[in-house]
């Protein structure tokens, strides 16, 4: 059997027996779908859940996406005719954005890179979106992308009207781009003033890190994290109590340092503590995102909402396809883990795989379908 036939048959079977819930305000959303690419065609709209599911059953695209944006006329084209009404705030975190030394090809994933993207996602939520931006856990819909990343959809009404520029500001905040150390550590007359640990936003965050590092670090770690010489670090440590006491009051002058030294530390710690996200996606107010609860045609995984990132296991939890045997021929030699089972592929050897594993491996080109 041809791979594409098997994939489409399997998807159709799934959509025939399941209902994909409509995203909120479905009638205002633009949809896009694709087989070869993630999006081969777009500018579609569905009035309600029923029509969306009818489409999935009859056309069965490998990928289906919906707009973060809300439009008066979601089918209108070109874009200005749609009349943009607003957009959810979305973040896209994908494993291939991060520098991780994985040995596998770009198509595949491993614990290393999937853990990295998960950590980054948790950092974004727990260190920025909740404490700084004041979102509640309930505002954040974390969705597995169906392949190797996570999307966060924020649908709260007060973010709908944010312009592209405003979204850029949010991103710049999260990535610490444009942070001006010289604005926060400055000379006032004879005194060098700076933030206090309980200040809001980045200045406070970095100050807490500096206080923590001086309080618990040694010359070497201070020199490394704050980008100063060990002799400077020594100077600070020699007056540790005074320096920490001073910073607690916003007085950065207890040790005689060039303000540039502190500013440099500021910049370095900002880079260390920022979160990395795909900038294009968040800023683009017309972006199409994978439809939650649809099946990713490149893996067979469901793009499911993730209630707890900590507990989410990317090779178990999104497996929803059936487990009837499918006869395959391996095209590579490797172990594939799905649903806590190890499938040992040996090139050119026949084997029977449960449907979900056959789908995953066929889509990734690791097996051909035999039966």
Partner 1 sequence: MFTRGELQFSVKYPFSSATKGLAKWINFDFSSVEPRLLDRAKQRAIEGIETGRTTVETNTSSERIMIAEILSYPLAKIIVGKTRDKFLISRYARAEARAFQKFLLHESPANLGALARDFGFSISDAVIPFTDYLKYLPREEEYKLVNAPLKDGQVQVDNESIAHLLPEKLRDQIEKDLYQPMDVPTVFDTYAAEVAKETNRDKAFKITEEFGKVEAGIFPPCIKLLIQEAESGQPMAHQPRFVLATFLVNVGMPVEQVTELFRNTPNFNEKKTRYYIEYSLGKRGSGTKYSPPSCEKMVFYGLCRNKDALCERVKHPLKYYSKKKEVKPNA
- Interface positions with partner 1 (CB under 8 A): 131-135, 158-159, 161-166, 168-173, 175-184, 199-204, 227, 260, 263-264, 267-268, 270-271, 279-280, 283-284
Cα–Cα dist 204/33, whole Å: 45
Nearest Cα neighbor of 178 from 188, 165, 187 is 165
Least Cβ distance, residue 275 to partner 1 (angstroms): 13
98 and 149 Cβ atoms separated by less than 8 Å = no
365: left (phi over 0), alpha (psi -120 to 50) or beta: left
Catalytic residue among 198, 278, 310, 323: 278
Catalytic residue among 9, 92, 132, 158: 92
Cα–Cα dist 79/282, whole Å: 18
Cα–Cα dist 220/215, whole Å: 13
The two three-digit tokens of residue 333, written as one number: 């030699």
The pair phi, psi for residue 343, each rounded to 5°, is: -110, 120
Which is closer to partner 1, CB of 264 or CB of 364?
A: 264
Annotated active-site residue 94? The verdict is yes
Annotated active-site residue 9? The verdict is no
Catalytic residue among 9, 16, 94, 107: 94
Contacts 24+ apart (CB under 8 A), 342-345: none
Least Cβ distance, residue 341 to partner 1 (angstroms): 41
Least Cβ distance, residue 282 to partner 1 (angstroms): 9
Which is closer to partner 1, CB of 175 or CB of 230?
A: 175
The two three-digit tokens of residue 228, written as one number: 């100063």
Least Cβ distance, residue 260 to partner 1 (angstroms): 8
Cα–Cα dist 320/317, whole Å: 8
Which is closer to partner 1, CB of 64 or CB of 159?
A: 159
Which is closer to partner 1, CB of 124 or CB of 302?
A: 124
Annotated active-site residue 158? The verdict is no
Q: Which residues are catalytic?
A: 92, 94, 278
């Amino acid at each position: 059997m041809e791979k594409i036939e098997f994939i489409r048959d399997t998807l159709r079977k799934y959509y025939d027996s399941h209902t994909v819930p409509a995203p909120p305000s479905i009638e205002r959303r633009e949809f896009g779908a694709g087989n070869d690419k993630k999006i081969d065609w777009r500018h579609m709209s569905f009035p309600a859940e029923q029509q969306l599911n009818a489409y999935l059953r009859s056309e069965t695209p490998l990928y289906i996406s919906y707009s973060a944006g809300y439009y008066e006329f979601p089918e209108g084209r070109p874009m200005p005719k749609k009349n943009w009404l607003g957009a959810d705030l979305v973040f896209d975190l994908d494993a291939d954005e991060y520098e991780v030394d994985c040995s596998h090809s770009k198509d595949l994933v491993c614990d290393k890179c999937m853990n990295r993207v998960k950590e980054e996602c948790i950092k974004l939520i727990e260190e920025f979106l909740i404490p700084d931006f004041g979102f509640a856990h309930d505002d954040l819909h974390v969705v597995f992308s169906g392949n190797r990343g996570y999307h966060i959809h924020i649908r709260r009404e007060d973010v709908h009207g944010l312009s592209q520029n405003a979204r850029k500001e949010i991103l710049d905040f999260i990535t610490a781009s444009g942070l001006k150390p010289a604005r926060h550590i400055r000379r006032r007359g004879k005194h060098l003033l700076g933030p206090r640990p309980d200040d809001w936003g980045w200045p406070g965050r970095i100050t807490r890190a500096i206080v923590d590092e001086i309080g618990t670090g040694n010359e070497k770690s201070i020199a490394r994290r704050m980008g100063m010489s060990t002799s400077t670090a020594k100077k600070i440590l020699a007056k540790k109590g005074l320096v920490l006491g001073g910073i607690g009051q916003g007085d950065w002058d207890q040790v005689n340092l060039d303000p540039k030294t502190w500013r440099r530390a500021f910049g370095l710690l900002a880079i260390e503590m920022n979160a990395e996200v795909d900038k294009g996606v968040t800023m683009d107010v017309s972006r199409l995102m994978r439809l939650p609860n649809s099946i990713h045609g490149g893996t067979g995984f469901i793009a499911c909402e993730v209630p707890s990132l900590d507990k989410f296991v990317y090779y178990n939890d999104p497996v929803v396809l059936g487990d009837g045997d499918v006869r395959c021929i391996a095209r590579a030699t490797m172990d594939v883990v799905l649903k806590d089972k190890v499938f040992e592929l040996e090139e050119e050897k026949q084997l029977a795989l449960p449907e979900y594993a056959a789908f995953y491996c066929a889509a990734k080109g690791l097996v051909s379908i035999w039966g």
